[in-house]
Every structure is written in C-alpha cells, then in structure tokens.
Structure 1
Amino acid sequence: MQQFNQELMAYLAASPTPYHAVAEMARRLEAQGFERLREADDWSLQPGGRYYSTRNGSSIIAWRMPAARSLAESGLRMVGAHTDSPCLKVKPNPSLHRQGYLQLGLEVYGGVLLNPWFDRDLSIAGRVNYRRDDGSLGQSLIDFERPVAVIPNLAIHLDREQNNGRAINAQTFLPAIIGQADKTGDFRELLCQQLAQQGVANVAEVLDFDLSLYDTQAPALVGLDGEFLLSARLDNLLSCFIGLQALIGAGADEGALLVCNDHEEVGSMSAVGAQGPMLQQLLERLLPEPQARHRMIARSMLISADNAHAVHPNFADRHDANHGPSINGGPVIKINANQRYATSSETSAIYRHLAAQEEVPVQAFVVRSDMACGSTIGPITAAEIGVRTLDIGVPQFAMHSIREMAGTRDAWDLTRVLQRFFAEPELGMDQEG
C-alpha cells in the first residue's frame, strides 16, 4: 500500500492537465507491454494482446483481448473514469495590462470551488499548437512547472464583510497576475519561449492553445499516521490511476478494458466524452459483426469509478444519516433511484461479492432526499452502449477544490477489488423463478 501511494502521488504530480494525465498513462502502459494503436490505422488484434488508443490526447482506452475465448463468449470487464478536473483555463486572448501589472484572463471550467484558488502558487500547463519554421504544423505539451501566476485576495481592510460571505465574480475577481507591465504582452511569444526551454525547436508561431492554471503544491500524506492524501485533481485522476494499476496487475486470461474520458465535468457531450462515440466505435472495431457484439455486451459489466462524498465532521447534516461514508472506511457504492448513478441491485451484489473475497469493506452513499444528486459517466455510458453498470468511488473531502483530500487505504482497497474484477471469468448471476 505504501508503494502504491507513492506511485499515485508521482502520477498526480505528473498530470496537471488531461493531456499530461493521458501521456503519463500511455507511458506506464507501454512500459508494461501495451501496444499503441492509432485510430486512423488498420488493426490486427491477437488473442491475449494488450493495446491502447487515445483521442485528442485527452481520452484513452486500454484493453486486453481474452487469451482463449472470443469476446462474444467472454464479454468485457470494463472500468471507466474521467481525466478532467474543474479548473481555470486561459482565455484565447488573455493578456491584460492594468495598474502596472500583466494579467491573464481566465475562464471557469466545470463546477470549480473558487475560494481556494486565491493566494496560491500557480503554474500553467496544457497543449500548444504551432507552425514550424518550414511551414508544417505541430503540437506539444507544455508545462511551466514553476509558479508563474497568482490571484491575490483583497485585504480584509478593504472589504470588512469578506468573512460574512462574498460572491465571487468570475470575470472581475479571477484574472491572474503573471508579472509587471514592462513584461511582454504577447502571451503567444511567452509560449514560444517556454517551448524552446523544453527543447521544442523551430517554432515559428503559436497558433492556438488549451492551457489551464494549476497549483504547484505537491501531493502529500497528512495526518498523525499519514492516513490522508492531499492533492489537486483527486477527482478524478485518483480513479484513473486505480483503474490503470488494476488493469496492469490483473491476470491475462479475460477480456478487460479501461476507458478514461475527458469532459465529464462539463457534461461529457463531446467527441472524446462519455456521451460521444469513442467507446462505441472501439467496440465496433473489436467485434464488427453486430450480433456478436451484442452478445459480448450482454456478458459484460462496467464499473464507473468516480470519487464519493465522505461525511465532513463539521457538516454532517449534509448527509443522509444512514448513508454517510467515512474516509478509509472502504470504497463507496453510489446509488440513486432516479438514475443519476447507474448502480443496480445486481451490479452492487457482484461488487460486494468481489470485495468480500478481497476482505475489503464496502460503504454505500445515497444523497439526502431533499438535495440534488450529482452524476458520473456511469449512466451516460450505460445508456450509450447498453451495458450493466455499477457506480463506485473512493470517499473524499473538498471535492472540486484546488486541493482535495482522500484516504491512503481506500484507493488501494478499490484497486485490489478491480484487479479481481478484471480477472473474473464469469460475471453472470443465476436467476431463480
């Protein structure tokens, strides 16, 4: 478990954006013998083969072909997660010169908890598209790594009512300071300079970019016994890492698949989101014949892994009293009668059976009946491909904050159960009566 958490923190630190998260997953997959397949190429899949494919550099699917049986006979054990996290993105024309400072205009991505972004040491990372000196087009990941931006708070002396509640205006409060006004106002030129420092040569002009701010504070183990993990982007890179480690560590006999989609935090409706065609198109390539593919889906199951809300000791009244998960109390089955989560009694029972074999505790979450319920890629993927689905997650605090908190045991426990799930030869349940 200690080694797992050290590797998890390294993964989180290496993944400031979905692009970096997918690149790091691809690196780890290739180190374990997974072969990259490009969507534009013809594929030749072999029994027991291990493959992965990406789209837009921000979504990834990795899978293992069954060694002995056909996919139609074995089905697929699938785990889903998402690569994006709420954040602040750099606007296309971001440069602002005000009161002697150079600032960047920022756009809110997803349901960001905004207050924690003030007074943090921020950096910039993402993807840059450019034209080379010879006229050809290129793209590269970029990461300033060091702190280059800050969003200062207003002093309490100038707004005595701040502690009594303050509405944050995303347009006027959030522009980040990156330097004095004597610095160049050409942000694209700054990106060219940074690319050159990273060894990307022959960049004539930056054409466009997709960049986010992120907190440079490293992940850390906290608590008297180091029982808590604090980091940015636990929702939901924690689940991406869990699924990755489970897929790599599982046996090689059964068909298994990990899908990590971008854009969950903004609704999943995109070419690379869970409501897009990426997974369905891959399944069609695995089994082009419709009847065989339908047989495969009928024998398959998806576990959607996305973090759950633990009971905060200062706000226990925000939970249903009988469904209050605790950190390090075990992974949480997420249930909602209105299908905001896709868990059924069958998929829940299958998970509980697998967890019992690993001696992993199980918790359950149901939102208070007088509160709205969030959702995940689980219901979306279930509806898109018709697969039975379970929603589960590691309990955490401060979801959608710049720095979130989870337990050091829960992620390890969920990885063990998912590893058993990936290796399970049969996922069916006998029906009586």
Structure 2
Amino acid sequence: MERKNAWSKYTSEKDKKKVMAFGEDYRKFLSTCKTERECVAFFVEKAEKAGFKNLDEAIASGKKLKAGEKVYAVNKGKELALFIVGTEDLESGMNILGAHIDSPRMDLKQNPLYEDSDIALLDTHYYGGIKKYQWVTIPLALHGVLVKKTGEVMPVNVGEDENDPVFGISDLLIHLAADQMDKKGAKVVEGEDLNVIVGSIPGFDKKGEKEKESVKKNILKLLKDKYDIEEEDFISAEIEVVPAGPARDFGFDRSMILGYGHDDRVCAYSSFMALIDCKEKLKKTACCLLVDKEEIGSVGATGMESRFFENIFAELYNLTGDYSELKLRRALTNCKVLSSDVSAAFDPNYASAFEKNNSAYLGRGLVFNKYTGARGKSGSNDASAEYVAEVRDIMDKDNVFWQTAELGKVDQGGGGTIAYIMGNYNMQVIDSGVAVLSMHAPCEIISKVDLYEALLGYEAFIKYA
C-alpha cells in the first residue's frame, strides 16, 4: 500500500516555512553536536530554559513533585532522561520517547600518538558499524574530553572553526592500487589502517640532523604549549574522530539535509523538542530518554542495558506518589514506548537490496517498524498487533503522515535498536523514526518533511497514548 508524499500536506508558503524553519534549527544542532556529551550539554541548556529542573535537586530537597512539573537527570554526561509529570499516578505507566545520541565514528586509542616516516599519526579504534573505506580522504575533526589526574575536564574540539586545522586518513593512490582494488569491500581498508595524520614538521639538532621521533615531539610540544596536554593525558581521554564541517542543505530545493550523525540524532532532536515544547496538561507522565552506546549493543553504564533508567524511574516515583517496589514493577509494565531510531530509506541506486512494498521512502513521513532484527527477526522486539493499531489511531488523530517498513530484504542484512530492552520490562514498544539515505556513512541524508512529521508524531504520542 503506497503512502502519500508528506510534502502534499504543506502546499502554502506559510506551512512550508514551518517545515524549513524546524529543519534549519536541527541542521545547526547537527553541525555542532557530534558527540554524546555535546548533545547532552545542548539538551540540558535548552531544557533548563524551558523550565526543567535537575532531578538531583528535587531528590536532595525531598519535596514531592506535582502534575505539570518538569525534571531531568543526567548520567555521566552521556545519557539524559527528561520527564513532565502527569496527573495520573505513575503506576499507570509513562509515555516514553526513547532514542540514542551516539553515532558511528572512530575513537582514539589510549596510546594513540606515534611517528612513522616523518609523519605523526593518531591510532584509532572504530566505533559501531562503518564501511571503513568511507573514512579515508575526508576532512576530520577531533571532539571529546581529556581528563587530567587532578580531575580537570578539558573539552576538545579541533577542526570545526574555519581557522582550525583539519585531520585525515590517507588512501593508496589508484596508480599503485592493483592489489587493493581486488579486495572485498570489508578489506579495502583495514581497521588498523585508520590512522589519522596530525603533523609532519621534524626537529633538527645543531648539526642539522633530524632528531629521533622529532615530528611526534613537535606535536607534543604544540599540545603542551597550546592546550597544556601531556602525552600521558591521552590515557584518560575520550576523543572521537568525526567528519569536519557543518551539516548542509541538500538538493536544489533544499528539501533535505546532508550531515554526520542523523543516526540517531534526528530522532533524538525531534523527540526532545516534542517533549519540551509540550503545552498540554498530560494525564500520563511523559518521558524523553536519550541513551548512549546503542551502536555497540547498548552495553555499559550509559547504554540502555544499564540500570540508570530503572533507578531514575524509581526516584521519580518516590517523589510523585506512594512508592513501593511492586508499584514500580507495575508502572514499568504499563509504559508505552516509541523506540525512536532511523530506518533505511529506499535508494533507487541500490534497489536490489530493498523490497519495495515494505520499504521506507524519503518524504513520506514518520516510519514505523513493527520489527527490526536480522534474518528471521533475530534480535527483534516485534510489536504486538494491538499496539500497532493503537499507534495508527494516534497518528491519524493528528493527521501525521506515516509509513511502515522493514530494514531491506529478508536475507540481505538487518539491524537492531533499544526496543527489545524496553520490551524486557513488558512494555508496549514499537520502533519509529526517520528514513535515512546512506545510513552509517560519514554523511547521511534525511528529508526535512520527515523530520517535521516525526516531531508531530511524537507530540501526538505524548498526548494520546
């Protein structure tokens, strides 16, 4: 069943301007927030301006939270939960918008800096599923934090300002690439070859002889003079190597956005904005949960597998009603969730990988995936038919343009989200999100109208679920 193109809904210039304005705000966000920490800092600042208070302060005061109050909680600077308290007791559950804010990238190793053939390089370990050959010969930037032994946290952001240098990974010239061109795509560039070039000026002694590892020494001197960084400080650093430069309008009609990290910041941003802009008096408490580590299996203290969400839910319950462990279990079971993650957009250049009747299309609105997984639905949540029907009704109430899809042909591949982890609590969960072209590439493409329909869909879910 073919769905209508969502642009048909925005025929007047006034309506189209709303779509474009929201897209521009998102484009600016995507251009500056390229790590989980940067996303959390951005969202917290906006949330506080919208009247959200830190949940830690409420816990410390012991003051009960009333309907309409807004709170947030941060986990280790890389995970964020925001809540608007509803009029109903939490035992009836929450309406949750869950997304992730990590994206595929390269991370610096703990001992990254070395010299080879008069070139200084940084050694990396790639993070998440990438086609490694896509990351060579493009301008790269360094984002993250470096923590000194004193506990001082030093932000790192080099390669974004027009006056900054950029970095990169070299590739073998075509003239010498006969053997390379015969390799499979997964082997064209190996993981250990993703070494970032950062300098090439050596140092010389008084006789004009090049000193040993002098290029590396020169880089270390520069880092010390400009940033007060010692080589050993890299051991306690989290520095991510990401594509340099801003996200850009894409296409003559500027209907799309090209940028790094649409997966999954496009869903995180629209979910967040749906919550903080909510003006409704809500019956059920609404939550926006933005997690880390989804790209590597949702593991660790800041991933969805962590107890962070469950613990924060308990703290919130304790501040809103008559808390008990049994009531918390009931509340978790009664939650309804949109696991907001991107979907693969049908690409006419690679049509053979898709099944047209069950693909997401650019420009046709918010995408719902009843199931994800791989080959036989392995690793999938697989939403119930009853919940799918409920979500259909919610979207249609607010005239949200939406579509359904699966992730390519049955035996072509697959992927997963945080949905199954929420489902482990016996919550009603379905995957939803925005269709993306070139997913997991250094630059991905989304439609501005799909982004806007996602916002409207998430707003409707908060109101009616």
Alignment TM-score, normalising by the size of structure 2: 0.83
1:276-335 residue CA offsets vs partner (Å, 9 max, x unmatched): 111111111122412322333343201100000011101111112320211011111113
One-letter amino acid matched to 1:302: V
Task: Give the CA deviation at 1:102.
Answer: 0.7
- Tell me: CA distance 1:346–1:185, structure 2 relative to 1, closer, same or farther (3 Å): farther
Task: Give the CA deviation at 1:421.
Answer: 1.3
Task: Give the CA deviation at 1:186.
Answer: 7.8
**Please, which runs of 5 or more residues in structure 2 have no aligned partner?**
1-18, 203-214, 318-322, 372-376
Q: Say if 2:175 is the partner of 1:157.
A: yes
Q: Say if 2:261 is the partner of 1:226.
A: no
Query: Does the CA-based 8 Å contact 1:33-1:50 persist in structure 2?
Result: yes
Give the distance between the partners of 1:257 and 1:158, measured in 2 at CA: 55
Which of 129, 132, 142 is equivalent to 1:114? Answer: 132
Where do residues 11-410 of structure 1 align in structure 2 (5 Å cutoff)? 11-38=29-56, 42=60, 44-47=63-66, 48-66=68-86, 68-73=87-92, 75-131=93-149, 136-144=150-158, 145=160, 146-160=164-178, 162=180, 165=183, 167-182=187-202, 183-185=215-217, 193=225, 195=227, 208-254=236-282, 255-287=285-317, 288-336=323-371, 338=378, 340-367=380-407, 368-383=409-424, 385-410=425-450
Name the SS for the 2:348 alignment partner. coil
Query: Does the CA-based 8 Å contact 2:111-2:235 persist in structure 1?
Result: no
Query: Does the CA-based 8 Å contact 2:147-2:236 persist in structure 1?
Result: yes
Give the equivalent residue in structure 2 for 1:430.
none
Query: Does the CA-based 8 Å contact 1:219-1:231 persist in structure 2?
Result: yes
Give the distance between the partners of 1:110 and 1:317, measured in 2 at CA: 25
Count of aligned pairs between the two proteins:
412
- Tell me: CA distance 1:369–1:71, structure 2 relative to 1, closer, same or farther (3 Å): same
Query: Does the CA-based 8 Å contact 1:82-1:264 persist in structure 2?
Result: yes
1:198-254 residue CA offsets vs partner (Å, 9 max, x unmatched): xx9xxx967610001111121111112111111000001111101111001223422
Give the distance between the partners of 2:21 and 2:329, measured in 1 at CA: 40
Identity, % of aligned pairs?
A: 22
**Please, which runs of 5 or more residues in structure 1 have no aligned partner?**
428-433
Query: Does the CA-based 8 Å contact 1:61-1:259 persist in structure 2?
Result: yes
Query: Does the CA-based 8 Å contact 1:335-1:391 persist in structure 2?
Result: yes
One-letter amino acid matched to 2:288: L
Query: Does the CA-based 8 Å contact 1:108-1:170 persist in structure 2?
Result: no
Larger CA deviation: 101-110 vs 31-40:
31-40
One-letter amino acid matched to 2:91: A
One-letter amino acid matched to 1:177: I
1:357-378 residue CA offsets vs partner (Å, 9 max, x unmatched): 2222221112422234211001
1:126-146 residue CA offsets vs partner (Å, 9 max, x unmatched): 111114xxxx42223321133
Task: Give the CA deviation at 1:174.
Answer: 1.2
- Tell me: CA distance 1:179–1:373, structure 2 relative to 1, closer, same or farther (3 Å): same
Name the SS for the 1:419 alignment partner. helix
Give the distance between the partners of 2:38 and 2:298, measured in 1 at CA: 19
Give the distance between the partners of 2:449 and 2:85, measured in 1 at CA: 30
Give the distance between the partners of 2:225 and 2:412, measured in 1 at CA: 49
- Tell me: CA distance 1:148–1:283, structure 2 relative to 1, closer, same or farther (3 Å): same
Query: Does the CA-based 8 Å contact 1:19-1:141 persist in structure 2?
Result: no
Query: Does the CA-based 8 Å contact 2:166-2:244 persist in structure 1?
Result: no
CA radius of gyration, larger in: 2
Task: Give the CA deviation at 1:190.
Answer: 5.4
Name the SS for the 2:349 alignment partner. coil
Task: Give the CA deviation at 1:17.
Answer: 1.0
1:112-160 residue CA offsets vs partner (Å, 9 max, x unmatched): 12222111111101111114xxxx4222332113343111221101113
Task: Give the CA deviation at 1:195.
Answer: 4.4
Give the equivalent residue in structure 2 for 1:7.
25
- Tell me: CA distance 1:341–1:411, structure 2 relative to 1, closer, same or farther (3 Å): farther
Q: Say if 2:443 is the partner of 1:415.
A: no
Task: Give the CA deviation at 1:184.
Answer: 4.4
Larger CA deviation: 89-98 vs 39-48:
39-48
- Tell me: CA distance 1:186–1:306, structure 2 relative to 1, closer, same or farther (3 Å): farther
Name the SS for the 2:276 alignment partner. helix
Give the equivalent residue in structure 2 for 1:431.
none
- Tell me: CA distance 1:221–1:148, structure 2 relative to 1, closer, same or farther (3 Å): closer
Give the distance between the partners of 2:171 and 2:64, measured in 1 at CA: 55
User: How large is the RMSD of aligned CA atoms in angstroms?
Assistant: 2.4
Name the SS for the 1:392 alignment partner. strand
Give the distance between the partners of 1:179 and 1:16, measured in 2 at CA: 24
One-letter amino acid matched to 1:12: L
Give the distance between the partners of 2:137 and 2:101, measured in 1 at CA: 26
Larger CA deviation: 6-15 vs 143-152:
143-152
Alignment TM-score, normalising by the size of structure 1: 0.89
Query: Does the CA-based 8 Å contact 2:395-2:461 persist in structure 1?
Result: no
